[in-house]
Amino acid sequence: MGVNKLIKPYIQALVPYSTARDEFTGEAEVYLDANENPFASNVNRYPDPHHKALRTELSTQRGVPLDQIFVGSGSDEAIELLVRVVDTAAAGVTIAPPTYGMYKVAARNNNVAVIEAALNPDFSLNMERIREASDTGSKLLFICSPNNPTGTQYTLEEVRTLVEAFQGVIVVDEAYIDFATGESAVTLLPGSDRLVVLQTFSKAWGMAGIRLGVAYAAPALVAAMNKLKLPYNVSTPTQQAAIARLCEAGRVEEERQAIVRERDRLAAELVKLPCIEHVFPSEGNFLLVRFKEAQRAFLALRDAGVIVRDRSNELHCTGCLRITIGTVSENNRVVGVLAGS
Ligand SMILES: *Cc1c(COP(=O)(O)O)cnc(C)c1O
């Protein structure tokens, strides 16, 4: 099935809102078309609603055509738009818990049902359950790889299998791809117009505060998402900061390596501690850790001023806390507190 059939018909028929800057293309000396304040600053003009310069830089660096790149206010905007764009009338959105919470939030906020195709207890994909969800008519699947909170990455072969098993739009959320050893599913985009890959500036790129997420998808899906997004969804400072960051790949790479090094060191330190039962291998910038007494460990850390994420109520995550990799001294503090607790 082609992706066009998976997009709500009313959205395909929509004509995108035309901004003042759309009506006139080219360079002018005087802009009196958008009721802006004429006194110049970095932000007195509306931002580029098409994020042309930023998408061009992403296109060059990632090797993805311009019309297959959507830019939004964090991946969260892309997630929300995908829930609204894909025709979910027949059945709900399929997720594979334990996973990132925003897929369910976006579905619920839009009154869309959620089908849970739970992961196996070893955190691997349960293809049978995903096939069953597809058979019920679900047209949208969210997979997170590397997965938050489990830290597991699915192989490209598994993603290819997913595309066959699930007859709808398959979203692979790669928020943590830069920390992973496996390849990005972006390379599979030419093979299927039903595949979407999400990436973000919030993690390895160190820019959670600017709010910028990217969706790589078939041109028809990108066009549909662009029709529904608010015209000025990404501010000028955000677009500029992202372009500047893309041009300092060396520094990003150094930070990425430092985080991965610390992740592996912290894992090795934690497994030695008697309060810890298991440290799960991680392809992200966090560790999922099973404690003998998770609540006790959580409180000991909190009392020492260290906040971690309690995931003990998530499926297959009994007794587990998720610990983000910090600086060397922050990670040492975690070890110190837990060794003494
Ligand atoms: C952190 C995270 C994101 C990032 O969302 P933004 O809105 O881009 O900040 C996306 N997906 C997952 C799975 C995450 O853990």
pLDDT at 26: 82
Average pLDDT estimate for 76-97: 96
Ligand 1 centroid–CA 29 distance in Å is 40
pLDDT at 217: 98
Whether the predicted pLDDT of 18 surpasses 90: no
Average pLDDT estimate for 163-174: 98
- CB contact burial 223-251 (16+ within 10 A = b; e otherwise): bbbbbebebebbbeebbbbbeebbeeeee
- What's the CA dihedral at 76, 82, 88, 92 to 10 degrees? -30
Query: What gap in Å lies between CA 125 and CA 16, rounded to an integer?
Result: 38
What DSSP line would sit under 46-60, residue for residue? PP-TT-HHHHHHHHH
Judge if pTM exceeds 0.95.
yes
Whether the predicted pLDDT of 1 surpasses 70: no
- Closest atom of ligand 1 to 201 CA is 8
Average pLDDT estimate for 52-64: 97
The sheet with strand 69-72 has its strands ordered as 69-72, 213-216, 195-200, 169-173, 140-144, 93-95, 114-116
Query: CB within 8 A of 270, min separation 6: which ones?
Result: 276, 279, 287, 289, 334, 335, 338
> Which uninterrupted H or E stretch holds 270?
helix 249-270
pLDDT at 166: 98
With beta carbons less than 8 A apart as the criterion, state whether 217 and 67 touch: no
Other CB atoms within 10 Å distance of the CB of residue 262:
18
pLDDT at 179: 98
Nearest Cα residue to atom 12 of ligand 1:
175
Query: CB within 8 A of 173, min separation 6: which ones?
Result: 75, 79, 100, 142, 143, 144, 145, 198
pLDDT at 269: 98
Other CB atoms within 10 Å distance of the CB of residue 135:
12
Query: CB within 8 A of 325, min separation 6: which ones?
Result: 259, 262, 263, 266, 285, 286, 287, 331
Peptide bond into 146 cis (omega under 30): yes
Peptide bond into 149 cis (omega under 30): yes
Average pLDDT estimate for 38-57: 96
Ligand 1 site, CB within 6 A: 74-76, 100, 144, 148, 173, 175, 200, 202-203, 208, 213
Q: Look over the chain and give the mean of its residue pLDDT values, rounded to a whole number.
A: 97
Average pLDDT estimate for 188-201: 97
- Range in 27-31, 57-61, 271-275, 321-325 the model is least confident about: 27-31
Ligand 1 centroid–CA 101 distance in Å is 10
Query: What gap in Å lies between CA 336 and CA 341, rounded to an integer?
Result: 9
Ligand 1 centroid–CA 58 distance in Å is 18
- Closest atom of ligand 1 to 100 CA is 13
Average pLDDT estimate for 266-277: 98
Query: CB within 8 A of 283, min separation 6: which ones?
Result: 146, 151, 152, 153, 176, 179, 180, 181, 182
% of the chain residues with pLDDT over 70: 100
**pLDDT one-digit tens code per residue, 306-329:** 999 999 999 999 999 999 999 999
**pLDDT one-digit tens code per residue, 227-271:** 999 999 999 999 999 999 999 999 999 999 999 999 999 999 999
